[in-house]
Amino acid sequence: MLYLVGLGLGDAKDITVKGLEAVRRCRRVYLEAYTSVLTVGKEALEEFYGKELILADREMVEQEADSLLKEADVCDVAFLVVGDPFGATTHSDLVLRAVKLGIPYKVIHNASIMNAVGCCGLQLYNFGETVSIVFWTDTWKPESFFDKIEKNRQNGMHTLCLLDIKVKEQSLENLMKGRKIYEPPRYMSVNQAAEQLLAIIQNRRFQGEKPEITENTICVGLARVGAQDEKIASGTLQQMSTVELGAPLHSLIVTGTMHPLELEMLKLFSVDSSSFENNACQRTT
């Protein structure tokens, strides 16, 4: 049996009772280590679960999935995922491979950022398509995520922006030379995401457009959702470029049309209540 077990968002104790029971009866336990990160390390998980964990990076899951699954053909194997198992498409691929090989699987769900984001007070059914904001480079500055945010906002919907994670990435030089040397992990902050959005707004204006999203659009920055030191800040997009939310992981919400109750909740987390009042009331129902 292959178990796909969600770990939740905080620490070792966020695993469900059902998930913990599955982990403890498995012979091998893999920890997926590239689509998200917990606030505690591998050692803390091993101590609480009473099991040795094998770190599964992107290369292992995407290129060596068959060897992982062959083990599940002869014994119970658990694949641990921060948040919920289906928060990333890679895990759907793992299920499809298991089915092809005739290996039974069981999914044990948990909280993920996709539903825990409601902690800021915005209603989940008012969210449109979720987007990913990627790190720009000197030669690659995509803007497609901005178009999706604009479309959501035109429809009155909020946008959850998942911010880029770079784990076990190689420099172009090391990649070309086949050297297994990896760059230090990088996690995009709310500040960095806001700065990229502001740059796109300026670029669109330079091209003669009038962006739906401006420096004064109300946004929400979230950090370490589900952890004890969770942090939430609401304010304008401009304010999000300077707000200090600390360690990863961060997420950003660009609001659409807000119900008065949503607005009242966001005021609890406002960076500056005066500017919040001036701008947020422009898009309420």
As annotated, the binding site for S-adenosyl-L-methionine includes 9, 84, 87, 112-113, 163, 225, 250
Instruction: With beta carbons less than 8 A apart as the criterion, state whether 229 and 89 touch.
Output: no
Helices marked H in the chain — which ranges?
17-25, 42-49, 58-63, 65-72, 89-100, 113-116, 144-154, 172-176, 190-206, 237-240, 260-267, 273-280
Q: What are phi and psi of 209, to 5 degrees?
A: -90, 165
DSSP code at position 218: E
Annotated binding site: 9, 84, 87, 112-113, 163, 225, 250
Residue listed under structure tokens 């003669």: 208
Q: What is the rounded CA–CA span in Å between residue 123 and residue 41?
A: 32
Using an 8 Å Cβ cutoff, are 76 and 27 in contact?
A: yes
DSSP element (H, E) containing 29: strand 28-32
The distance between the two most distant Cα atoms of the chain, rounded to a whole number of Å, is: 63
Question: What is the sign of the dihedral through the CA atoms of 108, 109, 112 and 114?
Answer: positive
- Give the alpha-carbon dihedral of 200, 202, 208, 210, to 10 degrees: 80
Q: Residue type for 234, please?
A: S
